[in-house]
Structure 1
Amino acid sequence: MNAVSSNRQVALVTGASTGLGFAIAQRFAAAGFDVVIVGRDRERTESAASQIAGDARTVAMVCDVIDRQQVDRLIDDVQQQFGRLDVLVNNVGLSDRGLIQALDADRLNDLFNANVFSALNCSQAALPLLAQSGGQIVNIGSLAAKVAPRYLGGYAAAKHALAAITQQLRLESRVLGVNVILISPGPIRRDDAGYRYKDRVGEDLPESANRPAGGARVKGLDPIYVADRILKACRKRSTDVLLPGYLRPIIAIGHLLPTLGDRILLWFTRSKD
């Protein structure tokens, strides 16, 4: 298919068939972007694309972003159909529950595949196209990219790695005119919050570990609000966005004074049961 000539900017959002990814795709479409919605399940991805109303052109593309060959074909398809790419949102991720002393290499590999290698594959493949537009890469991290609370298994390790890759890529991509943003939100509101990890919360963990953020005392964020902040970050070409923002000085204190930081994290994840 030949590229469609358009002055519209193009945003590609991975993991966009449901949840936060879908909210991000909706927000960019409402702001006048053409949007590529990426997911692994064709039916769900096409259904999500059909639900986005407005004048924006919305295209569903099926891809397992952990597979680099599939990602290369995805970016080729974007170039052929749109002729440009302005924003890449790496939203695919996988959370976890458990103790580090019980974490095995296979589980950690799964977490790195979903949270790190998916973003790395898409960023590397899309970088030449983004360089042409002076575009941006948005990596969806987590509060666990800034601190490592208890009970989150290998999730914090994976998100810390994503944060490191994001910063390094941002520094390296400046010469290309590409901006790279890390978005670190707290728990996102979802229908299955509070019981989605029941199969991973066993006798070694308190029931509170099944709650969002491992039971941390942080209010769940509306995905629409997070999507809006992501769009604003792109407009400002920000570099690092923490949600909720009031936690940034608390996290900074913890980094400066690690012993105090540990006490703060223990308080934030103290069971209310």
Structure 2
Amino acid sequence: MGSVIAETFADAGYQVIIVGRSAERLDAAKQQLQSRPGRSIATLPGDVGRRSECDRIATEVERQFGRLDSLVNCVGASDRGLADELDAERLRELIDQNVTTALLCCQALRGLLERSGGSVVNIGSLAGKVGARYLGGYNVAKHALTGLTQQLRLEWRERGIHVALVSPGPIRREDAGTRYRDRADGSLPASASAPGGGTKVKGLAPQRVARIVLQCARRRRTDVILPGYLRLLIVLGNAFPRLGDWLLIKFTS
């Protein structure tokens, strides 16, 4: 998803900086992204789970490029499991990956974003809007990211920084349905290893999600749910919790 977002912004004329812990993987991603002429891609190795590293990245962005117009936080990890079997350490890992990384990047890069009147786009999930079954601590982490995004949007409004959330359903990928089989033990149905924990929502093309992320940065859209028709179901589910539970059961195997 991050790679597709990077190429979408690059094709729209942005100079893109991709950040990750592995310099080797960053170089490989840069080569792949620059295979199409006209794209401007730079890399900055760093661990965005550490504030000192985020501060160093912010310093390098200012030194090398002079400004920052958009920050896209798309670090994250999903999971499978039952809530009553959720290990506290695993929950901390998921929160660190899905929430803390976004918080630290926002804090470190706030000055640059305020100077440009820029945008932050956090990549959430449908699991940050509803408490779907079989997703372990992923629901908790993405709900926390949803709350953090709104809080930042309200607090940074006066600073001229726009903060958006994109909450997609399952993304189409080559390993869909197989990468969580090792976590689907006897306490979970076989369908739990499927995208979205067995949701009946059709997988989204990553290019579609990336275009929405670009719109949030450029047009300052606030909170986008994909697919869009689920927004009404989520609203109804929040207004009428019993109906919401019934809908969730109907939409998951």
Give the TM-score, by structure 2 length: 0.97
- Alpha-carbon distance, 1:51 to partner: 2.1
In structure 2, C-alpha distance between the alignment counterparts of 1:61 and 1:39, rounded to whole Å = 7
Letter in 2 for 1:40: R
Seq. identity, %: 54
State whether structure 2 residue 153 is matched by structure 1 residue 167.
no
The 8 Å contact of residues 29 and 54 in structure 1, kept in 2 or not, is answered as: no
Deviations 1:56-99, CA, capped at 9 Å, x for gaps: 42111111111111111111111110000000000000101000
In structure 2, C-alpha distance between the alignment counterparts of 1:239 and 1:218, rounded to whole Å = 23
What is the correspondence of 1:222-233 to structure 2 with a 5 Å cutoff?
222-233=205-216
In structure 2, C-alpha distance between the alignment counterparts of 1:188 and 1:79, rounded to whole Å = 33
Higher mean C-alpha deviation, range 38-47 or range 115-124: 38-47
Letter in 2 for 1:168: Q
Q: Over aligned residue pairs, what C-alpha RMSD do you find?
A: 0.8
**Counterpart position of 2:228:** 245
In structure 2, C-alpha distance between the alignment counterparts of 1:264 and 1:241, rounded to whole Å = 20
**Counterpart position of 2:31:** 50
In structure 2, C-alpha distance between the alignment counterparts of 1:208 and 1:88, rounded to whole Å = 35
SS in 2 for 1:149: coil
What is the correspondence of 1:70-219 to structure 2 with a 5 Å cutoff?
70-219=53-202
In structure 1, C-alpha distance between the alignment counterparts of 2:26 and 2:189, rounded to whole Å = 36
In structure 2, C-alpha distance between the alignment counterparts of 1:67 and 1:172, rounded to whole Å = 23
State whether structure 2 residue 66 is matched by structure 1 residue 66.
no
The 8 Å contact of residues 30 and 54 in structure 1, kept in 2 or not, is answered as: no
- Alpha-carbon distance, 1:219 to partner: 0.6
Q: How many residues align?
A: 251
Uncovered stretches (5+) of structure 2, i.e. residues with no partner:
none
SS in 2 for 1:159: helix
In structure 2, C-alpha distance between the alignment counterparts of 1:269 and 1:223, rounded to whole Å = 22
The 8 Å contact of residues 255 and 261 in structure 1, kept in 2 or not, is answered as: yes
Higher mean C-alpha deviation, range 40-49 or range 212-221: 40-49
Letter in 2 for 1:101: D
The 8 Å contact of residues 40 and 64 in structure 1, kept in 2 or not, is answered as: yes
**Counterpart position of 2:6:** 25
Letter in 1 for 2:32: Q
Deviating above 3 A after TM superposition, structure 1's stretches of 4 or more consecutive aligned residues are none
State whether structure 2 residue 3 is matched by structure 1 residue 34.
no
State whether structure 2 residue 234 is matched by structure 1 residue 268.
no
The 8 Å contact of residues 237 and 243 in structure 2, kept in 1 or not, is answered as: yes
Uncovered stretches (5+) of structure 1, i.e. residues with no partner:
1-19
In structure 2, C-alpha distance between the alignment counterparts of 1:177 and 1:56, rounded to whole Å = 28
- Alpha-carbon distance, 1:220 to partner: 0.6
Letter in 2 for 1:58: I
Give the TM-score, by structure 1 length: 0.90
Higher mean C-alpha deviation, range 62-71 or range 133-142: 62-71
In structure 2, C-alpha distance between the alignment counterparts of 1:36 and 1:118, rounded to whole Å = 16
